[in-house]
Amino acid sequence: MIGRPRLARFLLLLTVFLCAACGLVYELALVALGGYLIGNTVFQTSLVLSIMVFAMGVGSLAAKPLQRRAVGAFALVEGALALIGGCSVLMLYVLFAVLGVYTSAMVVVAFVVGVLIGAEIPLLMTMLQRIRRQEAGGAVADMFAVDYLGALVGGLCFPLLLLPTFGQLKGALVVGVVNAVAGVAVVLWIFRRQTRRLVRVGLLAGMAAIVAVLSTAYWLADDIEVTARQRLYRDPIVHAERTAYQEIVLTRSLAFTGDTDLRLFLNGDLQFSSVDEYRYHEALAHPALAGERPRVLILGGGDGLALREVLRYDDVREVTLVELDSAMTELAADYDPLRELNADALADPRVRVVNADAFNWLRDASGPYDAVLIDFPDPEDTATAKLYSVEFYAMLANVLAPDARVVVQSGSPFFAPRTYWSIDASIRQAGFATTPYQVDVPSFGNWGFTLATLSPEPPELHLATDAPALDFLDEDVLTAASVFPVDRRARDDVRASTLMDPVVVEYARGEWRFD
């Protein structure tokens, strides 16, 4: 018999709650890691959840012969789950960085974790019935109600508490410790009279060893992450941080010219090289600034380099910079090498920084803006695809002055022509007339932009008569930039991208194969 059955039942249901929360955190951690490392968030989510749900069914069946020794079996299952789930993110990150292996290893980890999670409920149900017999329907209802509540709390704690406080690697390790203690110590205390002393001692020693391993991994996690991350980059890393939205990495080295080469990477994708970024940012900014420009809007561009070009015009009275990640704008404002590169642009009194999702911000924004620069990351997943949709450009049109000029960074017409011309089609479908153009940026290769206005005719690609002296652009370069070779001209086989049909993501995934 179990002493104090009400207390024992409460503690066991509390264990169900904690184990459910931990299990969902493991799932979300794998999804988030895949999104960071591989991109394609929808596919990563579908793959992880599908494998884990299937594996949970396998685990439930595998637990059937273990029910006669449910207490010991459950303690072993929770110990294994705490160790494997807690170390899963760290292990997969190291495998990706050192060996270049991710998806196959993730499938194995997700399956094993799913099997262990699936084995929990049958064993917990058996133990719950040992405390107090009740009808099967009532027991199932109690068990799943607490299980789902735990999943809710775990799902909310992951983005709101664990990621901001501990980060991805350490967050999973912390959850592993909670899982081990909840799954082993509590259950063994409840059923201590039904478990032989030697078994209890062995299981508790195992739990202590698992907690020690997880604690050691937590202590070493920062050093492991730094070492593993450096394997992903050619040049020495001088700054790295993982924010709620992305991983920001800055590297620094000497270029072949002898100049310092500062490079920014977001989630592993190169954003600029200080050796040639002026080519990109002159091409992005100055065609948009060839008309009226008292009020300028920059969407993206949190590094401040496009902003630097805008502020070279004395008649610019106000610039609004909308950047999702506050960590990026803070870095651009505070990190000395980046401040030097952007000419301390974010400190200019004409600049207003808004840290918000540009899509949602546009819904409530008030104009009119005379010039707009759009400098978003490439549309590699559905999260960024909405920023290249017909709906997004239609909302943008609502905040423009009648003669406003807009420039959109549109990817590479050479490496990703379908993506490039799909972006052009989306802008035109939203009511704009467009003039596509391309330039060469050595660190990127061939790169394209789209100049757009609300006028009925395609806008003229030119510089302002009072444009400052530029290092790359002049009228001859712009004239050549609007000419596309035969094999890279506008295509008839591409469609505009919308919120409900984000084809630009499909095009990008099919073309950027080396990513």
* Domain 5-230, second-level architecture: Up-down Bundle (1.20)
Give burial (CB, 10 Å; 0-12/13-18/19+) of 139.
middle
Active-site residues, by number, are 375
Where are the domains positioned within the chain? 5-230, 237-266, 276-511
For the chain, give the mean pLDDT. Answer: 91
Q: How far is CA 345 from CA 252, 318, 348, 352, 370, in A?
A: 21, 13, 6, 11, 20
Share of the chain above pLDDT 70, in %: 97
Is the four-CA dihedral 367, 402, 431, 510 of positive or negative sign? negative
- pTM score, two decimals? 0.85
- Mean pLDDT, residues 90-114 taken together: 94
Would you state the structure tokens that stand for residue 189, as one six-digit string?
């205390």
- Mean pLDDT, residues 213-234 taken together: 92
User: Could you say which DSSP state residue 402 is in?
Assistant: E
pLDDT 10s digits, 461-506: 999 999 999 999 999 999 999 999 988 888 888 999 999 999 999 9
CATH 3.40.50.970 for the 276-511 domain, yes or no:
no
Residue 269, pLDDT above cutoff 50: yes
What residues does 400 pair with on adjacent strands? 369
Q: What is the rounded distance in angstroms from the CA atom of residue 484 to the CA atom of residue 473? A: 17
pLDDT 10s digits, 148-180: 999 999 999 999 999 889 988 999 999 999 999
Would you state the structure tokens that stand for residue 377, as one six-digit string?
């990351």
Would you state the structure tokens that stand for residue 133, as one six-digit string?
């017999």
Beta strand pairing status for 318-322 and 351-354? parallel
Q: Can you give the pLDDT at residue 136?
A: 67
Q: What is the rounded distance in angstroms from the CA atom of residue 427 to the CA atom of residue 405? A: 13
Q: Can you give the pLDDT at residue 515?
A: 36
The position carrying tokens 């012969």 is: 65
